[in-house]
Every structure is written in C-alpha cells, then in structure tokens.
C-alpha cells in the first residue's frame, strides 16, 4: 500500500474552509480580570456613595436635633456680655467749714455705718454753741422781764388813775377859786365908780382873778399829763401782753428762735465728726489732714458692696419679651464661668446709651447708617452670692435672662 500524496489535502482544505483563530481574537485571563475589577470598582463606588449619603443624612439629622435642643433650651433666653457692675455710691461731704484735724481711713478700707471717717477741728463750733446758749439765756431772761413788766405797767396804770383823780380834784379846786375871784373882781368893778373901794383893791382883785385863772390852767395841764401817762402805760401794757399772751418761757417766740440756734450749733458741732453713712468700701479719698474744707466739699466715697447691681446693655432687638421680675444668671470675668450669680430684672433705663451720651449721635444727615442701639437693663444681684464672691464697681459681666421666668 502506497502513500497518497493527497492525504494532506483535506487538511489543507479544511484549513482553508475553517480559518484558524488568532491570539488577539481569543479572550485571555487578563481581560476577564480587568472586567471583573471594573465591576468590583463600580460596586465599591456605589457602596461608598451610599455610605457618604448616609453619613450626610445622619449629620443633617444631628444638626436638626441640635437646633431643636438649642431652640428648646436656649431659645427662651437672651444674653449679652456688654454688662458692668454698678452701685449707688455714697458721696461723703463736709456740712461745716473748718480745718481737717484727722483722717482715719484710706482707699480700699472696709467701713461700717456710723464709723468715724474724719474729724474737723471743733473749736469754732464750740464757740458758736456757747454764743447760741448765751443768746438763749438772754431770751429767757427777757421773757421773764416782759412778764414782770406787765405787773409794773399795771401798777403804773393804777398810779396814773390816782394821779388823774388828784389832777381832777385840783382842776375842780382851781375852777372854784377862779369863780370866787371872778365874783370878787366883778363886785369891785361895780363899786369902783361909786368910790367905795380904791383902785388898789381893784388891782388886787384883778391879780387874784388872774392867778386863779392860771392855777386852773395848770390844774388842767396836770390832768392832761396824768391822762397821757395812763394812756402810755395802757399802750405799753397792751404791747407787752401781746408778746407774752398765751405763751410761757418755753414757748415764747424769741426763746424758740434762740433754742433753734442752739440746736443748729449743736448739730454743727456734731458734724465736725464725719461718719460713714452705710457699710462699704472707701474710694476716691480727696481729703488730707490740715486741709480747710467748706460746706459741700467732697471728701471721699463709700461703695456699698452688698447693694451693687448690674447694668446689662442688651440690643433693642433682644428686649421684646424681657420683663421686670424675670430671673437672670450672670458670670464675671473676675471669677470665670465656674461661679454663677443670680439676679432679678428690676427695671429699664429711660433711654439708650447713645441718647444719654456726652455727645449724642446726629442721625439727621445724608450719610446716616443704622446702628443697633443698646438699652441698659438693671439686674439686682442676690446678696447670698455677693457675700461669698464680692464684686467691685465697673467689673465686666456676662448676663443671661430667662424669658420664661416670672
């Protein structure tokens, strides 16, 4: 059996009919791995995107919860750090003039009400008191004298009455004598023509008549003088009675005036010793030993630490729901946030800080810019906190008012 040379032909024909695949057209393990990696990447991206969206949603929920909690807890409060401690400082002034003899306190000293702060030389006040007491004694003696004068004037009136009666009797006697002399003169004048009497007797009778007439005039003058004396005594008695009527030595006007001067002198002497008007801390001492002071001179100040308050300057937009009586919580820069002070809103200022500024703002201009104004709100501090943590005037505070409190 021989080999057929065409035995390989079918293979060639088959080869021609069915072309062989190339290496590029046949999928490899690398391509499959790449496709699988891309699919895995897409899954991971989707998973990561889902996680990010979930985290973002959680953050939004947390923010909403925080806002809700903040609105519930802090939405009913207003706060400002523009607040300062204040007090009704007592100004200690001199009420009398004189030279300062002693000053017994210095700045920062704690003082109690009634404690001696300074002493003014009391010698001038002692002299003034002695003079006032002497004037009082004089007024009392003058009242006693006026009382005695009433008795004396009554006696003078009685004496004047007797003098008047005596003068009236003398006038009557003079009138009788005049009438007798007139009769004698008339009779002699009738007889002179008959020559029964001499001219000498007529002259004597005429002289007797003239004398009687003069005596009558003298008697009438004496009567008028006695009556004038009585009227003068009665007027003096009336004037004297007007001064002392309804009064005694203790209630007489002149005595009361003298007593008032004595009281004033005693008060001036008392005021030479200057005492503290209240409990507090000495500040702004302006007086020195040897200095001569006048009434009204400012010597020093006393700050009542137990009665201090806080003026919190809130924005006008924060005050809609703020009312007197609401509770407040405060912290001080001095003690930090660990120490809280409690207080109560007691009032609002009559105007904003800008309205009462030394140079008020002028807004009536073309370049006006609106600025939020602040209104001082006064907060009274509880004394318990102040006893434990004392404050000083001018310290900075942080104030929070609870709008739900009453």
Q: Pick the closest to residue 80 from 310, 305, 245 (CA basis).
A: 310
* Cβ neighbours for 55, distance < 8 A, ≥ 6 positions apart: none
Cβ 305 vs Cβ 112: under 8 Å: no
* pLDDT average, residue stretch 359-377: 78
Q: Is pLDDT at 375 greater than 50 in this prediction?
A: yes
d(CA 35, CA 304) in angstroms, rounded, equals 87
Task: Read off the pLDDT of residues 263-310 as tens digits, 9 standing for 90 and up.
Answer: 999 999 999 999 999 999 999 999 999 999 999 999 999 999 888 999
pLDDT value at residue 28:
62
Integer-rounded Cα radius of gyration of the chain: 61
* pLDDT average, residue stretch 47-68: 84
pLDDT value at residue 196:
67
pLDDT value at residue 258:
94
CATH class of 125-266: mainly alpha
pLDDT value at residue 31:
64
- Which of the given ranges, 4-8, 140-144, 213-217, 262-266, has the highest pLDDT on average? 262-266
d(CA 402, CA 406) in angstroms, rounded, equals 9
The pair of three-digit structure tokens given for residue 12, joined into one six-digit string: 């060639």
pLDDT value at residue 129:
96
328: how many CB neighbours lie within 10 A of its CB?
26
Domain with CATH 2.40.50.100 in the chain: 90-116+270-302
pLDDT value at residue 12:
45
Task: Read off the pLDDT of residues 177-212 as tens digits, 9 standing for 90 and up.
Answer: 888 888 877 877 777 666 667 777 778 878 888 888
Average model confidence (pLDDT) for the chain?
83
CATH class of 76-88+305-402: mainly beta
Quick one: DSSP state of residue 395? -
* Cβ neighbours for 121, distance < 8 A, ≥ 6 positions apart: 98, 99, 100, 101, 272
Cβ 196 vs Cβ 228: under 8 Å: no
Task: Read off the pLDDT of residues 74-91 as tens digits, 9 standing for 90 and up.
Answer: 568 899 999 999 998 999
Q: Kindly give the interhelix angle for 123-191 and 199-244, rounded to the nearest 10 degrees.
A: 160
Q: Kindly give the interhelix angle for 253-270 and 123-191, rounded to the nearest 10 degrees.
A: 160
Domain spanning 90-116+270-302: CATH 2.60.40.1730: no
pLDDT value at residue 233:
77
What is the arrangement of strands in the sheet containing 298-303, beginning at the earlier edge strand?
90-93, 298-303, 280-283, 110-111
- Which of the given ranges, 92-106, 181-195, 234-248, has the highest pLDDT on average? 92-106
Task: Read off the pLDDT of residues 3-49 as tens digits, 9 standing for 90 and up.
Answer: 444 444 444 444 444 444 444 444 566 666 676 777 777 777 878 88
């Amino acid at each position: 059996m021989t080999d057929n040379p065409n035995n390989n032909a079918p293979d060639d024909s088959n080869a021609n009919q069915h072309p062989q695949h190339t290496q590029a057209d046949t999928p490899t393990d690398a391509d499959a791995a790449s496709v699988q990696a891309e699919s895995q990447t897409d899954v991971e991206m989707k998973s990561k995107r889902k996680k990010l969206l979930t985290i973002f949603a959680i953050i939004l929920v947390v923010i909403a919860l925080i806002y809700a909690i903040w609105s519930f807890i802090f939405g009913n409060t207003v706060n400002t750090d523009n607040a300062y401690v204040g007090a009704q400082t007592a100004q200690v002034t001199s009420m009398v003039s004189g030279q300062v003899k002693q000053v017994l306190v210095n700045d920062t000293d704690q003082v109690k009400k009634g404690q001696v702060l300074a002493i003014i030389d009391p010698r001038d006040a002692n002299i003034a008191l002695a003079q006032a007491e002497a004037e009082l004694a004089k007024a009392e003696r003058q009242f006693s004298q006026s009382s005695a004068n009433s008795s004396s004037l009554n006696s003078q009136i009685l004496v004047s009455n007797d003098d008047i009666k005596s003068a009236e009797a003398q006038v009557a006697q003079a009138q009788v004598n005049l009438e007798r002399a007139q009769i004698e003169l008339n009779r002699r004048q009738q007889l002179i023509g008959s020559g029964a009497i001499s001219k000498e007797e007529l002259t004597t009778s005429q002289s007797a008549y003239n004398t009687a007439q003069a005596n009558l005039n003298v008697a009438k003058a004496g009567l008028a003088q006695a009556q004038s004396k009585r009227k003068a005594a009665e007027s003096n008695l009336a004037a004297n009675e007007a001064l002392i009527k309804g009064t005694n030595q203790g209630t007489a006007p002149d005595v009361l005036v003298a007593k008032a001067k004595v009281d004033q002198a005693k008060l001036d002497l008392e005021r030479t010793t200057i005492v503290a008007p209240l409990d507090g801390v000495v500040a702004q001492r302006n007086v020195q030993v040897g200095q001569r002071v006048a009434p009204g001179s400012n010597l020093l100040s006393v700050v009542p630490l137990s009665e201090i308050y806080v003026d919190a300057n809130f924005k006008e937009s924060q005050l809609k729901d703020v009312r007197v009586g609401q509770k407040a919580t405060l912290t001080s820069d001095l003690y930090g946030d660990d120490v809280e002070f409690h207080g109560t809103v007691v009032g609002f200022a009559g105007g904003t800080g800008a309205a009462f500024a030394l140079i008020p703002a002028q807004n009536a201009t073309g370049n006006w810019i609106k600025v939020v104004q602040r209104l001082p709100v006064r907060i009274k501090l509880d004394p318990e906190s102040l006893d434990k943590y004392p404050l000083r005037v001018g310290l900075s505070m942080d104030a929070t008012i609870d709008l739900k409190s009453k």
